[in-house]
Structure 1
């Protein structure tokens, strides 16, 4: 409530300032701008208020947007819209059927093996955590033996062990593992409670059908609502957004599928070599989270390395080799394949992407994290359309003083005007300067 009141107060002050500081000649333009701004604020407030029921409408809308080019292509080949939708449904059902038969049984077993220790009767599985502590102790003793065999003096090794004991690593690690297990238990319980309440999954095929059927009429209706004298400008802006957003969503959908297939295959190949568990689950998790910038690839690699170490041979060498392989695959996709599929960067600074992810997650949860970057891309395009200087490059011959005026050290007097060099063409409208001696002015 406090945040809402603060936002309302700030908006009210901005409106009051705009109406008092604007000349009468520009008042009509200010009113239109204010009406648009208030409309956007009300729209955002409505979205925030109804965010709990948005998934059954937002998810099928995104899917319909991704599938619309396929439906248009089928219509171009002679299919009716309804027949094209039914064909897409049949293909999707066949793929889901194959996945249910081939992927779901082993995936369910791996997830059950992963969750069962966490959801053990009586709360946290202490034996699992104690086993992790013992593995860490074995690692410490093995390191001491390695140092002694390498010729390190025994006194130095004993001193290192004393310093290690003073750090109380075991106690701290045990506390950290308990906290992680508690969080995983809470997450698993929350998911178990949510699955029973996600009735919107039953609505997904129905809402998806209507969105796919009416996608083009809905787009034409929105275009018709625009005043005729603004349609060309709106069409240009909408085209820019559609190009960037479509390239991003369809590109990352394809990339996520490719990453999931490649990493799942690699992890399944490494499973008998490193003798670890959860390869299928971790590979599918990597593919389904790849589209989340920075967080997705980092989390998938980290979880895979931890799984290889704790459920495998507890070897740092194996974990290091796995990290190199998985990180190498992610780097290959990020730097080589992704630019060719998506067509380059979305043009957002990494700090803006991180801010968008945090803001989306704070207000809309997982759905907000998923939609954070596409929404940020749309906002960036709109801002650059109305404020072109945000995207305009600074000319290479622009002096720093022209961008940021220089101030004298004493803070007094006017800053010296920059002198044009001889290789700069001074136009007729430029400030007249005194020519150097030896040159005649015309």
Structure 2
């Protein structure tokens, strides 16, 4: 691959060095895929490194040795985490224990509400065909519930066979602080080694692609942190208001429900819907009005998030069509479980921007892309400043 005088890319014969790099990349990718369950802790570690790198870099620029800066940031982060857990963990555990203790009573109240609705349904004047269809649906749900009462022992086999992966993942999480420390400490050296291993004709576009990926993941990480906290606080305040205006049941589990809503923000589109389910079921134990109130609250929170928070916080870098988001989540979940579903959105957005960049670099018909690539201007989407590199023949 080489850069022509007009700035476009041209693929010629592959040198032995390029072939070795491609084969090594394929082998490493295959190994990572085979050990994907054990690699997940290190994906979390990369996110931690990304979050801790800015304060470490700031301290290094202000006279701290990098090792001391990393230790200082580690200590501050651990103290902040401990303080956060002290403030939130005890109330959260108390509400969870209270929920477990109240579960039998809640089940009885839920059954009473179902019985009341059944009586109302039996008195409704509806067509016979529609009533038969509804009755068959209810009977089907009942059969499904009965089928789950006899667990299949074959479900235990994946648990047993996956014990090795669980142990490896646990070991990976234990090594996470040390691994993250070395990545932070030797970031410049590792970056330099990677840069020197690249063929000269690949260097410019490789770093451009990495900057695109960094921009997308950076905006996604910052957005998810802000959105999770904001949605959790909004849900908590809304539940407290409903506990005063509608029914006290909302206030009994406000922290548990709001933390659930904040965490499920990691799953776009379907996360807010899933977080509303326990609140609606809990409200159903108190009657129809609390159910409507819960639906209104979660709908308002989701609308504020989608129409106000997401455009301002997340920006265009991670913007995808809802259909593409749902498709990406399903594929990511099928390939890598929960972590794959969580990371599906930034990965899909990064792939979109990388494909757009490469397509325009390979095409001589897009002068705006060539200007961004040759003259060091910003890319059309997201403002990634590319390095200025002289092009042969200019």
- What TM-score do you get using the length of structure 2 for normalisation? 0.72
CA distance in structure 2 between the aligned counterparts of 1:172 and 1:85, rounded to whole angstroms: 58
- 1:198 partner SS: helix
Equivalent in 202, 220, 224 of residue 174 of structure 2? 202
CA distance in structure 2 between the aligned counterparts of 1:77 and 1:303, rounded to whole angstroms: 49
Tell which structure's C-alpha radius of gyration is larger. 1
CA distance in structure 2 between the aligned counterparts of 1:26 and 1:93, rounded to whole angstroms: 49
1:288 aligns to 2:230 (yes or no): no
1:221-256 superposed Cα distances (whole Å, 9 cap, x missing partner): 222222233322322222222222211222222222
CA distance in structure 2 between the aligned counterparts of 1:43 and 1:196, rounded to whole angstroms: 18
Give the Å deviation of 1:364.
1.4
Q: Pick which of 128-137 and 272-281 moved more.
A: 128-137
- The equivalent of 1:231 in structure 2 is 203
CA distance in structure 1 between the aligned counterparts of 2:89 and 2:167, rounded to whole angstroms: 17
Equivalent in 305, 313, 320 of residue 280 of structure 2? 305
1:380 aligns to 2:358 (yes or no): no
CA distance in structure 2 between the aligned counterparts of 1:27 and 1:229, rounded to whole angstroms: 12
- Pick closer, same or farther for the CA change 1:325–1:132 going to 2, 3 Å: closer
- 2:337 partner SS: helix
The 5-angstrom pairing of residues 193-342 of structure 1 reads 198-271=170-243, 273-276=246-249, 277-310=252-285, 313=286, 315-342=287-314
User: Which consecutive unaligned segments of at least 5 residues does structure 2 have?
Assistant: 1-9, 367-394
CA distance in structure 1 between the aligned counterparts of 2:169 and 2:293, rounded to whole angstroms: 42
- The equivalent of 1:67 in structure 2 is 52
1:170-218 superposed Cα distances (whole Å, 9 cap, x missing partner): 64454455678999xx99xx8xx96998344332322222222233432
State whether residues 264 and 280 of structure 1, in contact with CA within 8 Å, keep that contact through their aligned partners in structure 2.
yes
- The equivalent of 1:104 in structure 2 is 89
Q: Which has the higher contact order (CA 8 A, sep 6+)?
A: 2
State whether residues 231 and 262 of structure 2, in contact with CA within 8 Å, keep that contact through their aligned partners in structure 1.
yes
1:52 aligns to 2:62 (yes or no): no
Aligned length: 345
1:140 aligns to 2:118 (yes or no): yes
State whether residues 41 and 176 of structure 2, in contact with CA within 8 Å, keep that contact through their aligned partners in structure 1.
yes
Give the Å deviation of 1:130.
6.6
- Pick closer, same or farther for the CA change 1:180–1:303 going to 2, 3 Å: farther
State whether residues 318 and 346 of structure 2, in contact with CA within 8 Å, keep that contact through their aligned partners in structure 1.
no
Aligned Cα root-mean-square deviation (Å): 4.1
- What TM-score do you get using the length of structure 1 for normalisation? 0.65
The 5-angstrom pairing of residues 387-398 of structure 1 reads 387-388=359-360
